[in-house]
Amino acid sequence: MRIATITNWAYSATVCLTIASGIVMLMASNADNTERQAVEQRQTFDQLTDEVEADAWSLSDLARLYVVAKDPEVLKSYRLKETSLNKIEFRLSKLKDNGASGEELALLHEGLQIVDALQDEQKVAFDSVERGDDKEAIALLYGKIYEQELDRAQERIDHFRQMLDTRARGAIVDATKASRTLRTLSEVMVGLTALLFLFVLGFILKRRVLQPVVRLSDVVHRLASQDYAVETPNFNQIDEIGDMAQAIRIFRENGLARQQLERERDANWAIRELLARMTQRLQGCESFADVINVAELFAPNIAPGVAGRLYILDREPWQMRCVAQWLSPQGSSEPFHPDECWAVRRGQSHPPVQGEPDIICYHLPDSCQEHTLCIPLIAQGEAIGLLSFQNINDDITYSRGYLELMAEALGLALANQRLRDALLEKALYDPLTGLRNRHHLEDIMGTQMSQAIRNKKPISCLMIDIDHFKGINDRFGHEVGDGVIKSVASIIQRVVRDGGMAFRYGGEEFLVLLPNMDEEAANRCATVIFNGVREMPLRFGGVDVGHVDVSIGVASFPEHVQSDNLLRAADVALYRAKELGRSRIVNFGMLEAG
């Protein structure tokens, strides 16, 4: 606002104050009128009630005098006084609603009713005199009841005057107070009118010239030192100072934009370093758990504030299973079918362009579908997992490429881990039966024996051989022989699943390690396996093989052997079982006893 405009506003304010001061003076005068009206009303009511009171007593005295003396002049005076009293009552009836309260009017009305009732009594006494019944007239006007009614009328009128006096005094006090207040306000307004010009002069020189110049000078000094965090003063007035403030504001905004670009550049470098470090850590992972830990650690730092989940594609059953999540993403982490995610369907990030209308992935909750990003983990041309991000907004759109790089690194790490696990499984597990193979036995045997010695717990070993297996192969063929081996392996695996470990030792031989089982428990386990194999029906491709038997050798530590020859003792027991005719269980302890 220009200085000329301020001056015009000050002139307008002066005029308004002057008018307001005049209005307040009129209001003060009106308060004085109210005070005068209250005094006049009080005087009017006092005068009329005094006349009513005096006339009531005069009528009573004239009536009593007439019933005693029967003087016609007295009756004539009574009639004149009665007419005067009626006129006064009529005047009171016209004045009774002139500011009087309901309680005051009730007292006045009751007093006038009593006076009217006394007049009726007086007329009854006059009728008695005309009938010649002087005693009744005298008893009526000089009786106790008549005196009480006369006193009651006096009391009602006096009470009315007291209440009138109280109200009149209150009205006078209120009117006086209002008048003083309004006069004081009027004087204050007059003083404000006088001070306004001094205020305008000080405002123009100090507030509109000196202070803005000082503030702008401080801002310019801080901007010159590249302190763009300083807040520029908001001078929107259309004058020279406003033009300077606008120029400084534009300069600051340009500086802030340059700083933002520098911060984004630094953030990009930091994210690139994190991606490089994550890639290095993924290369050193030796299990799926390692990959998941790396993802949970680096993902929140590569995209701060972005919640997400990591899914792995399971083939049996065919589903996406959540294995990691960070920053509390919305919705359920339950598995879902891969077709519910458009990113997995398309083999590309979805949606391709953030913020534009597109098909929403069905596995996401409705509350966050507009701010999500799904990136498939691709390896060798097929999806093996999924990264699902939430809270994607315009501020982190620039980092979308980094999220895709992170998905690429995780996909490669998961694919390598799957390949590693597949190779490890082929190296350690028998492909026909799914049992651990002999190479796996050496490491596990050393570990289990060490734990048994350290914890002073028993451990047992079963050596199992399918009886007459060569005859089965020669008679029915190798395919049926493989089926027999798989069937026997399934029986062994089912029996020892919760309490031991089963191995395919070679050909038709199997080995079972039973940690924490002594000789008696091992014999029970061997018996269950022996009976399970014998009772198992064997039929392959329409060929009825019948039933097969197994020979089992049992050895236990520390009952039978030392730690370094448990397998040998079980093998000796198995050999003895074959010598005795096969299809039996032989315990190494039986050999020692023999």
| pLDDT digits 0-9 by tens, 506-545 | 889 999 999 999 999 999 999 999 999 999 888 887 788 8
For 98-159, give the DSSP string.
SS--HHHHHHHHHHHHHHHHHHHHHHHHHHHHHTT-HHHHHHHHSSHHHHHHHHHHHHHHHH
Of 80-94, 338-352, 415-429, the least confident:
80-94
Q: Which residue has the higher pLDDT, 295 or 93?
A: 295
Confidence of residue 500 (pLDDT cuts 50, 70, 90): very high
pLDDT recorded at residue 592: 63
Please tell me the predicted confidence (pLDDT) of residue 184.
77
Query: Which range among 12-21, 277-286, 556-565 has the greatest average pLDDT?
Result: 277-286
Range from 146-150, 260-264, 412-416 carrying the lowest mean pLDDT: 260-264
Is the pLDDT confidence value at 580 over 60? Answer: yes
Give residue 18's pLDDT: 74
Helix, strand or coil, per DSSP, at residue 384: strand
Judge whether 64 and 142 are in contact, CB under 8 Å: yes
Report the first-to-last Cα separation within the chain, whole angstroms. Answer: 120
CA-CA distance, 347 to 379, in Å (whole number)? 11
Backbone angles phi, psi at 556, to 5 degrees: -130, 150
Provide the pLDDT for residue 577. 94
Show the tokens assigned to 103: 């309680």
Which of 283-292, 349-358, 406-415, 469-478 comes out lowest in average pLDDT? 349-358
Determine the angle formed by the axes of helices 240-283 and 400-428, rounding to 10 degrees: 10
Q: Cα 327–331–334 angle (5° rounding)?
A: 105
pLDDT tier at 335 (50, 70, 90 boundaries)?
very high
Whether the per-residue pLDDT at 448 is higher than 80: the answer is: yes
Query: What gap in Å lies between CA 543 and CA 26, rounded to an integer?
Result: 126
Secondary structure element (H or E) that encloses residue 294, with its range: helix 288-302
pLDDT in tens, 422-432: 777 777 788 89
* DSSP conformation letters of 226-287: T-TTSPPP----SSHHHHHHHHHHHHHHHHHHHHHHHHHHHHHHHHHHHHHHHHHHHHT--S
Of the ranges 84-98, 185-199, 323-337, 362-376, which one carries the lowest mean pLDDT score?
84-98
At 412, the amino acid letter reads L
What local confidence, expressed as pLDDT, does residue 318 receive? 92
Report whether the peptide linkage leading into residue 558 is cis, meaning its omega lies within 30 degrees of zero: yes
Q: Where are the alpha helices (H) located in 308-429, listed in sequence order?
A: 342-346, 400-428
Quote the percentage of the chain above a pLDDT of 90: 25
Task: Please answer whether residues 353 and 394 qualify as being in contact, where contact means their C-beta atoms are separated by less than 8 angstroms.
Answer: no
For tokens 């069937």, the residue is 487
pLDDT at 331 over 90: no
- The predicted-structure confidence for 91-122, as pLDDT tens digits, reads as follows 666 555 455 666 766 766 676 677 777 777 76
Written as six digits, the tokens of 317 are 């059953």
The residues that are catalytic are 508
Mean pLDDT of 146-175: 73
Task: Note the pLDDT of residue 385.
Answer: 93
Where residue 488 falls among pLDDT bands split at 50, 70, 90?
Answer: very high
Query: Are the C-beta atoms of residues 377 and 347 closer than 8 Å to each other?
Result: no
Low-confidence winner among 39-43, 53-57, 183-187, 248-252 (lowest mean pLDDT)? 39-43
> What is the percent of the chain with per-residue pLDDT over 70, rounded to a whole number?
74
- State how far the Cα of 513 lies from the Cα of 515, in Å rounded to an integer: 6
Q: Which residue has the higher pLDDT, 85 or 468?
A: 468
For 315-321, what is the mean pLDDT? 90
In the block, which residue shows the tokens 């979805």?
350
Q: Which helix (H) or strand (E) holds 385?
A: strand 382-390
- Among candidate residues 322, 305, 311, the one with its CA nearest the CA of residue 390: 305
Alpha-carbon span 19 to 535, nearest angstrom: 118
pLDDT score for 145:
80
Per-residue confidence (pLDDT) for residue 124, from 0 to 100 = 75
Question: Predicted confidence band at 546 (pLDDT cuts at 50, 70, 90)?
Answer: confident
* Short-list 429, 430, 437, 545, CA closest to 481: 545
Given pLDDT bands bounded at 50, 70 and 90, which one contains residue 312? very high
Burial of 443 (0-12, 13-18, 19+ CB in 10 A): exposed
Is the pLDDT reported for residue 462 higher than 90?
Answer: yes
Would you state the structure tokens that stand for residue 576, as one six-digit string?
């003895």
Q: Is the dihedral of CA 395, 398, 404, 410 positive or negative?
A: negative
Q: Which of 492 and 65 is assigned the larger pLDDT?
A: 492
226 CB neighbour count, 10 Å cutoff: 10
Least confident span in 231-235, 308-312, 338-342, 454-458: 231-235
Q: Once rounded to an integer, what is the mean pLDDT over residues 246-256?
A: 71
How many whole angstroms separate alpha carbon 237 and alpha carbon 234? 9
Average pLDDT of the segment spanning 215-226: 71
Coil, helix or strand for 515?
A: strand
Per the CB < 8 A criterion, the answer to whether 333 and 307 are in contact is no
Residue 47, pLDDT above cutoff 80: no
Structure tokens at 158: 């006096």
Structure tokens at 561: 């052997």
Q: Provide the mean pLDDT of the chain.
A: 80
Contact assessment for residue 326 and residue 300, using Cβ atoms and an 8 Å cutoff: yes
- Please tell me what DSSP assigns to residue 364: S
Residue pair 463/566 in contact (Cβ under 8 Å)? The answer is no
Q: How far apart are CA 464 and CA 466, in angstroms?
A: 7
Query: What is the average per-residue pLDDT within 35-39?
Result: 64
Element at 333 (helix H, strand E)? none
pLDDT bracket for residue 33 (50, 70, 90): low
